[in-house]
Homo-oligomer: A and B are copies of this chain.
Amino acid sequence: MHLQKYEKIPRATIARLAVYVQELEVMEQQGIKVISSEKLAWSCGVNPSQIRKDLAYFGEFGVRGVGYYVYELREAIKQSLGLDRTWNVVMVGVGNLGRALLRHQLLRKRGFVIVAAFDCDPFKIGEEIAGIEVQCSSKLPQSTIDMGVEIGIITTPPERAQRAANYLIEGGIKGIVNFAPSRITAPENVVVEYVDFIHNLFSVAFNITQHQIKGLL
C-alpha cells in the first residue's frame, strides 16, 4: 500500500473516503481488527463494489476471503488523503457558526487545528473562544505567513466572504473552505471548497415531495 501519482479523483469518492475513515475509527475503538467489504459497506451506507472502486484509485487493498485490515486501511486512506499529518487552519468570521466550529472537537481529532481566528468587529476582537483569542482581520495576512498556515475557513456573512478570501490569499493560504453562502473568486493554485448544508435540506425536501407525488399516483 503506497501513495500513487493519482489523477483526478471524483469529489464523491473523497466524500465517501471521509465516511470510510470515520467508520473504520469506530470499528477500531470497538476492537475490530478485520472487516469484510460487505460489513464495511453496510455500515458506510454504500454497496461493496462502490468501496472497491473508490479504493482502487489509491492501490490494492483487502485480502480475498478475509476482508480489510481495519487499522491498515484507515492509515492508508489517511495517507492517501494527506491526513497523516496535522494541518494548521485559520478562521475568518467569528459569528455563531464560527464559534461552533472553534469549539468543535472533531476538527482537531481529524488533524485540523485552528490556530487563529479573525473578525473585523471591534466588539469581538480580544474575546477568547476555546482558548483562541479573536484578532483583527487586518492582521491576518502577516499572521498566516508567519505561522505557515495552509488552510483558511471562511465563516463570515456572505457579503464579506470575498474580502475574507482576499486576506487569506494575501496570506499565502493554499486552500479555503467557505461556509458563507456566496461564491468567491481565487487564483487557480488556491483550492476552494464550499460547505452548504442548505442543499442537504433541499435534497430532503425534494425527496419527501417525490415520495408524496408517487403516493398520489
- A-side residues, CB < 8 A to B, are 5-6, 9, 11-12, 14-15, 17-19, 21-23, 26, 43-45, 80-83, 87, 89, 95-97, 99-100, 103-104, 106-107, 110-112, 150-151, 174-177, 179, 181-183, 189, 191, 193-211, 213, 217
Question: Which residue of B100, B191, B203 contacts A14 across the interface (Cβ within 8 Å)?
Answer: B203
* Residue numbers in B under 8 Å from A206 (CB-CB): 9, 14, 80-82
* Residue numbers in B under 8 Å from A23 (CB-CB): 183
Known contacts being A200-B195, A201-B110, A201-B177, is A208 close to B82, with CB within 8 Å?
Answer: yes
Q: Please tell me if the beta carbons of A5 and B82 are within 8 angstroms of each other in the complex.
A: no
List 15 additional contacts besides A15-B199, A80-B206, A177-B197; criterion CB under 8 Å.
Answer: A17-B199, A19-B183, A22-B196, A82-B206, A82-B209, A110-B198, A110-B201, A112-B205, A150-B208, A174-B211, A191-B208, A191-B211, A193-B200, A193-B201, A195-B200
Q: Please tell me if the beta carbons of A196 and B19 are within 8 angstroms of each other in the complex.
A: yes
Question: Which residue of B18, B87, B198, B210 contacts A199 across the interface (Cβ within 8 Å)?
Answer: B18
6 contacts between A and B (CB under 8 A): A26-B182, A83-B205, A95-B100, A97-B100, A107-B201, A191-B208
* Residue numbers in B under 8 Å from A5 (CB-CB): 213, 217
* Residue numbers in B under 8 Å from A203 (CB-CB): 11, 14-15, 191, 193
Known contacts being A181-B22, A183-B23, is A107 close to B198, with CB within 8 Å?
Answer: yes
- Smallest beta-carbon distance A203→chain B, Å: 5
* Residue numbers in B under 8 Å from A82 (CB-CB): 205-206, 208-210
Q: How far is the CA of A126 from the CA of B105 in the complex (A)?
A: 26
Kindly name the residue among A106, A177, A205 whose own CB sees the greatest number of chain B CB atoms within 10 A: A205
- Smallest beta-carbon distance A30→chain B, Å: 12
- Smallest beta-carbon distance A105→chain B, Å: 9
Known contacts being A15-B203, A181-B106, is A197 close to B198, with CB within 8 Å?
Answer: no
Q: Which residue of B has the minimal Cβ distance to A80?
A: B206
